[in-house]
């Protein structure tokens, strides 16, 4: 019995010569690596996402990155999926009971995106990263956002705007990208934009009010066409 207990102890609690960690600690270790990626990205930028640096911040052996994720790129990919806003928007959520052509839903969705980017410095860095480097994982992330976005547009707004659906899509591209940029701008600079400071409460309220007004204008225009 003693030998059997020792055998189990070695399997589940003791690291082996290959650098394996206890089975019950695997998920905890994986989360430490993901947290380390986030911390480095937030404090030093994407150029600091190197195997040795990630392992040092996580306080773990760098070999575990390859063991648990397959490599640094796969670790970064998993991190990107976990933090991206659109990855958390399920397709099941894209078809609620809507009677206004998605007017209120659209306003709520854009404002949620604005708040998410404003409060998430890591995601701001990811957006900047996507602008400065062609990387498969970042492209995959953008493609995933497009797939989810297409579900929302096709099922909710296109049927309402009909022949003007493309104009609505183009307008939303400007509104959403503007919301993204204003947050990245305020995160990297203390300057105002058109005299508005997005980092201050008054500026944030003014921008959100403008977003709501712009969406309302698009829907009023759509109603005229449908009427």
Q: Chunked in runs of 10, what are the mean pLDDT values of the chain (227 residues)?
A: 49 46 76 93 87 95 94 89 62 60 92 89 84 79 83 91 95 95 80 90 96 96 79
Residue 24 is assigned to a structural domain of this protein: yes
Asked if 165 and 79 touch (Cβ cutoff 8 Å), the reply is no
Rounded Cα distance between 162 and 181, Å, is 29
93 and 73 within one domain: no
pLDDT of residue 123: 84
Give phi and psi for 193, each to the nearest 5.
-130, 115
Last residue of a domain, one of 51, 68, 83: 83
Tell the burial category of 155 from Cβ atoms under 10 Å away from its Cβ (0-12, 13-18, 19+). Answer: middle
Tell whether 92 and 49 lie within a shared domain: no
Is 6 contained in some domain? no
With respect to residue 3, please indicate whether it lies within any of the assigned structural domains: no
CATH number, residue 74: 1.10.357.10
Among candidate residues 216, 217, 178, the one with its CA nearest the CA of residue 198: 178
Residues 6+ apart with CB under 8 A from 151: 91, 94
Domain boundary among 83, 116, 131: 83
Domain that includes residue 111, residue range: 86-226
Q: What is the pLDDT of residue 9?
A: 45
Instruction: Give the per-residue pLDDT at 12.
Output: 46
Cα first-last separation, the chain: 82
109 vs 91, 115, 126, 137, 214, CA distance in Å?
Answer: 14, 10, 20, 24, 14
Number of separate domains in the chain: 2
Q: Are residues 77 and 161 in the same domain?
A: no
Q: Where are the beta strands (DSSP E) in the chain?
A: none
Q: CA-CA distances (angstroms) from residue 43 to 6, 61, 63, 181, 194?
A: 44, 22, 24, 19, 28
Asked, for residue 5, whether it belongs to a domain, the answer is no
CA pair distance 71, 75, nearest whole angstrom: 6
2 assigned to some structural domain: no
List residues bridging with 193 in a β-sheet: 196
Q: Tell me the angle at which helices 72-83 and 136-152 cross, rounded to the nearest 10 degrees.
A: 30
Residue 4 falls within a domain, yes or no? no
Give the pLDDT of residue 16: 45
> How far is C-alpha 72 from the geometric centre of its chain's CA atoms?
19
* Residue 187 sits in the same domain as residue 118: yes
The pLDDT value given to residue 43: 87
pLDDT (0 to 100) of residue 185: 81
Among residues 97, 108, 94, the alpha carbon closest in space to that of 148 is found at 94
Are 219 and 101 a contacting pair, CB within 8 Å? Answer: yes
Confidence at residue 18, expressed as pLDDT on a 0 to 100 scale? 45
Q: Which of 28, 62, 83 is the last residue of a domain?
A: 83
């Amino acid at each position: 019995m003693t030998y059997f207990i020792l055998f189990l102890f070695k399997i589940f609690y003791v690291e082996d010569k290959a650098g394996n960690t206890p089975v019950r600690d695997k998920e905890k270790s994986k989360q430490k690596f993901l947290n380390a990626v986030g911390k480095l990205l937030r404090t030093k930028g994407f150029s600091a996402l190197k195997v040795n640096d990630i392992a040092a911040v996580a306080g773990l052996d760098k070999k575990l990155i390859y063991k648990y994720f397959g490599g640094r790129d796969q670790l970064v990919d998993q991190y990107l999926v976990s933090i991206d806003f659109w990855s958390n928007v399920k397709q099941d959520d894209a078809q609620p009971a809507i009677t206004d052509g998605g007017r209120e839903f659209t306003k709520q969705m854009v404002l949620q995106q604005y708040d998410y980017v404003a409060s998430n410095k890591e995601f701001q860095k990811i957006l900047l990263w996507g602008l400065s480097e062609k990387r498969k994982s970042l492209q995959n992330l953008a493609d995933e956002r497009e797939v989810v976005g297409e579900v929302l547009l096709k099922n909710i707004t296109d049927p309402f705007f009909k022949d003007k659906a493309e104009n609505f899509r183009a307008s939303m591209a400007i509104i959403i990208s503007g919301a993204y940029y204003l947050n990245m701008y305020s995160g990297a600079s203390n300057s105002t934009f058109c005299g508005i400071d997005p980092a201050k409460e008054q500026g944030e309220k003014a921008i959100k009010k403008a977003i709501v007004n712009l969406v309302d204008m698009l829907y009023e225009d759509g109603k005229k066409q449908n009427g």
